[in-house]
Amino acid sequence: MTDHDTILLTGITGSVGSWMARTILEDGGRVVAVVRAESEPAAAARIRNAMAIVGTEESADRIIAVCGDICDPEFARRVLESETPISRIVHCAGVVEFGKESAELSRRVNVEGTANLLTLAERLKTSFCHFSTAYVAGCRQGRVLENEIFVGQQFHNPYESSKCQAELLVRDWAERTGLDAFVLRPSVVVGGSQEGRIVHFDGLYNIMRLLDSVAGAIGAREFRVAANPAATKNLVPADYVAHAAWRILRTSPPQTYHVTNPRPLPLSTLRDIFVELFAIPGARLVPEEELRRRKPDRFESMYRKAAVQYAPYLRSEPVFDRTNTDGALQGTSLALPEMNAALFRTLLEYARTARWGKANAEAAMTGRSRERFVRRYFDRFLAEKMHQQLLPNLKRMTATCRITVEDVAGQSWSLRIDQGRLEEISDNGMVCQCTFSLGSDVFTAIVGGRLAPQQAFFQRKVNLDGDIETGLKLATVLAAFFKKWPYGEETGHVG
């Protein structure tokens, strides 16, 4: 590679892609960023917001924005027609959702999107770098080698499976074309090591956000979490991932690299750190059997529901062999910071300052674009589906609810569902049984089918007032609606 390489980068508005863009630009490279947006100005605005979050807003003007969706089969043709000079593709975009309701979205974005980019790389005759995850190891135990992909393992969720399928596509493509392919497998990515900067607060942050919201109520009482104290959690800061990846791409041979932590944290240590940060001295890691013997209290039950998708990762974790990565980084000054209480305090302080992503989302969407997005959903998208039996499970549902999008000033919509059919949409404030209140960032994730309503409620992303029982029933059945009928104008972080 030369100092004048131009990188086609996907996922620049994501947590890894934004740090990759910063790192490439700081080293003198050029970036062409693929962004889902209605126009080039809108794409440029999303890039500016992402670059501001990772602390390099001034670099945004050096990034060429290309409007596009990697899931579009015509995407490769349009990039080729633009005649933009590309020397390498770095693919960071992807869906990071663990629930079964997101299986189809994961397949479409993580597998089909990768296939479309490989088609483009082949036509450009350029090398390809694919950001995967160390957790393609699935349910494996023991040491996992970098050159292993699918060895018959089971997976914890559709996300792991989709990333494994994508890796197999990359390997087969490299063997067939003879072109260079790099696969980078980070573990659990958290914010930058210096200031905690990160674009999206998902994964471990969902647990931290819940603890932050209920810690005051828990106080000194016992708080049991089903987990194996001897298991580890492999965590890496986003800036380390980006710098290690860029070093590998510039100096090392094309192969697979575990960009992981050689010193993963025992869960017992992580528990001690969280006890200190959130002031919950009664927190204990216990076997699942104990919670079956003695029923969880309301706080323990709330945690279990909110963290159910992460439960397998608290029982065990394989050892990620770093032979290739250690060889590539040998002799460099790149050091992985210690994942101690001080670093976690930095992560927590940044998350609180960013209001767990709400501030970032509000910066990414102007008030006008937020209002336009929400209004289009109710006035066009939902209106087209009135008076139809869209889902069999809704036949037994008759209810009225109000949806208030908090950062769209003064806007709320009331819905009347009668025997599973949406019969009325009103903004005149009909009397409703329950009210859902949420921010526009959560709204876009839910209507896009990326976040289940009941999961959002238990993660404290949605407030529910009125008839709670009716609200939770609605949340459950509507999850199937959002999965089947996702709103296609998402402004979230699919890529």
Q: What backbone torsions phi and psi does residue 34 show, to the nearest 5 degrees?
A: -90, 120
For 212-219, which contacts have Cβ atoms below 8 Å and span 24 or more sequence positions?
A: 212/278, 212/348, 212/351, 212/352, 213/460, 214/299, 214/302, 214/303, 215/278, 215/279, 215/280, 217/299, 218/280, 218/282, 218/299, 219/280, 219/282
Q: DSSP string spanning 140-187?
A: --SEE-TT---SS---SSHHHHHHHHHHHHHHHHHHHH---EEEEEE-
Letter for the amino acid at 22?
R
Letter for the amino acid at 421?
R
Q: Which residues contact 428 (CB under 8 A, 6 or more apart)?
A: 414
Question: What span, in angstroms and rounded, lies between the C-alpha atoms of 484 and 482?
Answer: 6
| Domains of the chain (ranges, CATH numbers) | 6-196+236-261+320-330 (3.40.50.720), 197-235+262-319+331-364 (3.90.25), 366-484 (3.30.1050.10)
Q: Which residues contact 180 (CB under 8 A, 6 or more apart)?
A: 127, 128, 174, 254
Q: What backbone torsions phi and psi does residue 252 show, to the nearest 5 degrees?
A: -120, 160
Question: What span, in angstroms and rounded, lies between the C-alpha atoms of 128 and 166?
Answer: 13
Q: Please answer whether residues 436 and 471 qualify as being in contact, where contact means their C-beta atoms are separated by less than 8 angstroms.
A: yes
Q: What is the pLDDT along the chain (495 residues), one digit of tens a residue?
A: 444 589 999 999 999 999 999 999 999 999 999 998 878 888 888 999 999 999 998 888 889 998 888 998 888 887 887 777 899 999 999 988 888 877 888 899 999 999 999 999 999 999 999 999 999 999 999 999 999 999 999 999 999 999 999 999 999 999 999 999 999 999 999 999 999 999 999 889 989 988 988 888 899 999 999 999 999 999 999 999 999 999 999 999 999 999 999 999 999 999 999 999 999 999 999 999 999 999 998 889 888 887 888 999 999 999 999 999 999 999 999 999 999 999 999 999 999 999 888 766 655 555 567 778 888 888 888 888 888 876 665 667 888 999 988 877 667 889 988 888 888 988 766 889 999 988 888 888 888 877 778 778 776 788 888 888 888 888 877 887 887 788 854 333 333
Q: Which of 17, 338, 459, 48 is nearest to 200 (CA)?
A: 17
Q: Find where tokens 């997101």 sit.
A: 102
Q: Please answer whether residues 111 and 165 qualify as being in contact, where contact means their C-beta atoms are separated by less than 8 angstroms.
A: yes
Token output for 407: 């950062």
